[in-house]
Structure 1
C-alpha cells in the first residue's frame, strides 16, 4: 500500500489557497455598479422647546457652517452687561451676611460669571465686534434694557440690607436675574440667532447652568421662609 506524504497534502492545500481566496473575495464583493452607497442622516437640532429635524440629502449637501449674525452680537453684548450686574450683586455678600450657604453660592456664581464674561469678550474680539467698557456703571442697572436686570431702586435696596433681610433679597433678586438670562437665550433663538456653533454652545450652557442655580436658590429661599 502506498502512503501519501503529509508534505504532499500540505503542498496541495497551499496551491489551492489562492483559488479559494479569490472565490471568497468574489462572493463578498457587490456585483454591478448600481449598488447604493450607505448614507447617515443629518439631524438639525431644534431650538429650546422645538423638536429636531432630519434634513433631506439635498439640504444636508448645501449645509455649511453658519456664521454669526447681528442677533448673536447683540445677545453677547447684552449678556456681558447682564453678567456684570450679577458679579456686582455677589460682591455685596461678604460684608452683609454670615450665612455660609449664601456666601458659598455667591462665590461660585462670581467665578462662573467672570469666566463667562471672559468667554464673551474673546468671542467679540475674534469677530471684531466693538465692546464699550466692561458693562459696569449706571447703564448696567437699567431694568428696561434686558430681562431680569435689577432697577436702581432694587439694587440700592439690596445694598442697604444686612443679615437675614439681605439673604432673602439676594436670593429673590438673583432668581429674577437668572430667569432674565434664560429669557434672553429664548429670545436669541426666537429671533433666529444661535445658529453659529460657538454662540449656540454658549447660549445652551447659560440656559443649563442658570436653570440649575435657579432651582437651588428656590430651594434655599423656601428653607428660609418656610
Structure 2
C-alpha cells in the first residue's frame, strides 16, 4: 500500500535530512513494507512540501543505506526495512583480532611506501612519535597505547596515500580499547614498561633509511607479535 497520509509538510531546513527521516520512518514503521513501490517524486514532493530535487536526494540517501532501490521504468522499491550497518559500526562489533589482521595488511604496505616517500617533515614526526612512545613508558597503559597508535599513524601518514590514512583512522578507535585491555590483562608492561621498543625502533630506522623491504618486515614482525597475543588472550 502506497499511503502517504501519515506524512506532513516539513519545516524549511535542513530539508533533505528531514525528508530522508520522514521517508525512512515510512519504511521502518511498516507503512511501506519490503517489496512496495513508493509514491512518485511528484506525489512525495507535494505531500512533504518540498521540491522534487529534495525528494530525489532523500531517496538517494536511503538507497545508499540499502533501504530503497530504483528500477528503471518501474519506480523506486523498498528492498529492506532496516539499514545496513555502516563501516564504523561494523568495526566496533568486530573482534580486536579480526580488526588487527586487516590492520596488519594495511600497515605493512604503508611502512614500505613510507620508506620510499617520507619527507623531512615525516622524519621529524616519526622521531617525535618514537620519543613520545618511550616517554609514555613511564605512564599508564592507556597513555602508552595512545602513544603507540600515534607512532603507527605517523608511519601511515608518511606513506602519503590518503586512502591508507583514512583506513587507519577508521581502524584506530576500534583497536584502542582492545589494546588497552590486552596490555593490562596480559601484563605486557609489567617487566618491560617500554614493551616493543626494539621493534618500533627498527621500523622507524628502516623508514628513515629508505629501506622499504626492511620497513615492511619490521612492521609485520611487530604486528604479528601482538596478533599472536590477541589470539591467545
TM-score bracket for this pair, using the shorter chain length: under 0.3
Pick the structure with greater CA Rg. Answer: 1
TM, length-normalised to structure 1: 0.28
